[in-house]
């Protein structure tokens, strides 16, 4: 009886966003890695697996939702909807109300990752997830401009992994949003001998180097190996994050 009661209490705690992201009033990015590890292994991996997002990246994606509590989440390059499903499951599990907007190219646009009929299959009919066709950055920022005061947008950039597109998209977000939270994929750096595409890494580095220091932008990366993920955010209190 006592053991069962304790199990139920611990289960409720593990679903608490506050427990998953303690000390949100402090300056440093912090999450409870035990709670998030259990969630990732039990809830995310059975649904989305570990490709294209390995365990450490699933942790960063889920942790960022818990840490920053976005009211609106924007991503582009929907494909089958793996990343949108990750964000949906995280928000649902930890009780975080969020609108998820996932944008993909229209079917008549040729692209190597054009998903065809499988577009968004992992998030079809999921409450709170809206699928769009169009340019990812333009569509997302048009929605940002309609957000009510106090809205907290989070952007997931995982479209074309060229230097030019990542630079343009990150710079566009930073220009439009006062206190941004941006997660970027495929940002791992390795020296020239690897032959890896380091365009996203260089784009993030160059854009951040051009920002005014008064913005207090910070970044955190998974940099042990491919594919790599980086979150860019400000030191501003998370409760005050909003679009311009």
- DSSP letters for 135-152: -HHHHHHHHHTTPPTT--
pLDDT at 240: 42
Q: Give the model's confidence band at 15: pLDDT under 50 very low, under 70 low, under 90 confident, else very high.
A: confident
pLDDT at 243: 44
Q: Which tens digit of pLDDT belongs to each residue from 179-190?
A: 999 999 999 999
Residue 235 reports pLDDT greater than 90: no
User: C-alpha distances in angstroms, 47 versus 55, 57, 58, 106, 150?
Assistant: 13, 15, 12, 26, 32
First to last CA, the chain: 53
**Residue 6 carries which DSSP code?**
H
Name the residue ranges covered by the structural domains of the chain: 69-240
Rounded to 5 degrees, φ, ψ at 217 are: -75, 140
Task: Name the token pair of 105.
Answer: 């190219």
Residue 122 reports pLDDT greater than 60: yes
Q: Give the model's confidence band at 9: pLDDT under 50 very low, under 70 low, under 90 confident, else very high.
A: very low
pLDDT at 244: 47
C-alpha 20/C-alpha 103 separation (Å) is 28
pLDDT at 6: 44
Conformation bin of residue 69: beta by default, left when phi > 0, alpha when psi is -120 to 50:
left
Name residues whose C-beta falls within 8 Å of residue 217's C-beta, 6 or more positions apart in sequence. 174, 208, 211, 232, 233, 234
Residue 112 reports pLDDT greater than 80: no
Q: What is the mean pLDDT of the chain?
A: 90
Which CATH number describes the domain made up of 69-240?
A: 3.40.50.150
Is 171 within 8 Å of 197 (Cβ atoms)? no
Q: Which tens digit of pLDDT belongs to each residue from 36-51?
A: 999 999 999 999 999 9
C-alpha 43/C-alpha 75 separation (Å) is 21
Question: What is the widest separation between alpha-carbon atoms in the chain?
Answer: 61
What is the mean predicted confidence (pLDDT) over 85-100? 98
Residue-wise burial string across 89-103, b where 16 or more C-beta atoms lie within 10 A, e elsewhere: bbbbbbebebbbbbb
- What is 160-218 written as a DSSP string? --SHHHHHHHHHHHHHHBSS-EEEEES-----GGG----HHHHHHHHHHHTS-GGG-EE
pLDDT at 232: 98
Name residues whose C-beta falls within 8 Å of residue 32's C-beta, 6 or more positions apart in sequence. 19, 20, 21, 22
C-alpha 190/C-alpha 39 separation (Å) is 31
């Amino acid at each position: 009886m006592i053991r069962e009661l304790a199990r139920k209490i611990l289960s409720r705690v593990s679903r608490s966003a506050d427990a998953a992201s303690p000390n949100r009033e402090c300056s440093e990015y912090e999450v409870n890695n035990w709670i998030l590890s259990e969630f990732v292994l039990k809830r995310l991996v059975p649904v989305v697996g570990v490709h294209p997002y390995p365990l450490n990246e699933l942790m960063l994606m889920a942790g960022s939702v818990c840490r920053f509590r976005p009211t609106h989440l924007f991503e582009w390059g929907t494909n089958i909807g793996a990343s949108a499903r990750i964000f949906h499951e995280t928000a649902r599990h930890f009780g975080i109300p969020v609108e998820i907007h996932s944008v993909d190219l229209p079917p008549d646009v040729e692209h190597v990752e054009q998903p065809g009929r499988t577009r968004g299959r992992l998030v079809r009919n999921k409450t709170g997830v809206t699928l769009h066709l169009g340019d990812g950055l333009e569509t997302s920022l048009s929605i940002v401009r309609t957000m009510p005061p106090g809205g907290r947008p989070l952007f997931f950039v995982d479209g074309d992994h060229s230097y030019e597109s990542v630079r343009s998209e990150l710079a566009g977000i930073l220009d439009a949003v006062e206190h941004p939270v941006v997660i970027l994929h495929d940002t791992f750096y390795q020296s020239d001998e690897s032959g890896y595409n380091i365009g996203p890494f260089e784009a993030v580095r160059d854009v951040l180097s051009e920002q005014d220091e008064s913005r207090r932008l910070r970044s955190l990366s998974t940099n042990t190996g491919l594919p790599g993920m980086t979150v860019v955010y400000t030191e501003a209190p998370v409760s005050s994050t909003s679009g311009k």
